[in-house]
Amino acid sequence: MRVLIFGATGMLGKALMQRWGGDEVFGLGSSQADIRRADQVMDAVQSAKPDWIVLAAAYTDVDGCELNPTLAASVNTQGANNVARAAAECHSRLLFVSTDYVFDGRGTSPYEASDQRQPINEYGKSKAQAEEKILGIIPDACIVRTSWLFGPGGKCFPDTILKLAATRPEIEVVNDQRGSPTYTFDLADATMKLCRSDATGIVHCTNSGDCTWYEFASEILSQAGSSTRVRPTTSERFVRPAERPKYSVLSPASLNAYGISMRGWEETVPDYLGQRSQINQ
């Protein structure tokens, strides 16, 4: 199988490139193929002739998207549209990495893949519109929604917490937003399995279990052996440009339907800490 990965230099893209074995894999970063440029996307797809395209390229700065919705739309929506059109023309399958932020977070039970999209920020809107455009062009595309992504070699919540803890005796973290942390390498493994299963439709793909950001930070620092104390606080105390969903836990039913399950998020923390330590040596 030939696989083309857009966004290969990003946090998830790096994990995909490292984990994907047994197939012919081509990875492109934005400097090699800007997904906002339809001509560059088409050239890349025609050159690689992939059986599967994995679109992991995105503008994921949630507050940045809120402050610059035009950029968010150009990368996350129009970029996805460009990749979908190239995939359709070249008869390639497409897996698009999306987000829990397509939901409003007002629910109290895990979101199913069939639940209605109701984004409350510009990042979520740009990804929700991308999902709709892709499925309009390629009805049998695979949309993989994930959440709270973290991993080595990129900007993510655990890295921020560990850096803060290195210089402070105490930190405050919001305790009123709940989701499922997802480790990039576990998501990469699941993505590979979905492609090999010829997956179609919307699939929710996160590590199992859920927590608040406060609970996530506490677990990270506990496993890292840090003495820094973590205090719970509210979102109102940390006003940011983009509103975040209060509850964005995703149901694993759509993933389990392919015989795929993911380990608990707490189990991934030692792997992350080990990988981060190696990079920082």
Report pLDDT for 238. Answer: 85
* Domain assignment of residue 277, yes or no: no
Res 16: pLDDT:
98
Query: What is the average pLDDT across 182-208?
Result: 98
What CATH code is carried by the domain that includes residue 89?
3.40.50.720
Mean pLDDT of 43-48: 98
Q: Is 20 within a domain? A: yes
CA nearest neighbour of 205 among 232, 173, 238, 183 = 183
Residue 112 belongs to some domain of the structure:
yes
Q: Which domain holds residue 128?
A: 2-150+182-208+248-263
**Does residue 106 lie within any of the structural domains?**
yes
Domain-located, residue 109: yes
In a domain, 165, yes or no: no
Q: Does a structural domain hold residue 122?
A: yes
Q: Which of 202, 198, 183, 186 is nearest to 250 (CA)?
A: 202
pLDDT at 279: 82
What is the pLDDT at residue 281? 67
Q: Are strands 211-212 and 178-179 parallel, antiparallel or unpaired?
A: antiparallel
Other beta carbons within 10 angstroms of residue 261's beta carbon come to 10
Q: Whole-prediction pTM value?
A: 0.97
Q: Quote the number of domains for the chain.
A: 1
| Residue at 118 is within a domain | yes
Catalytic residues: 123
User: Residues 135-190: pLDDT tens digits?
Assistant: 999 999 999 999 999 999 889 999 999 999 999 999 999 999 999 999 999 999 99
Q: What does the pLDDT average to over 251-255?
A: 98
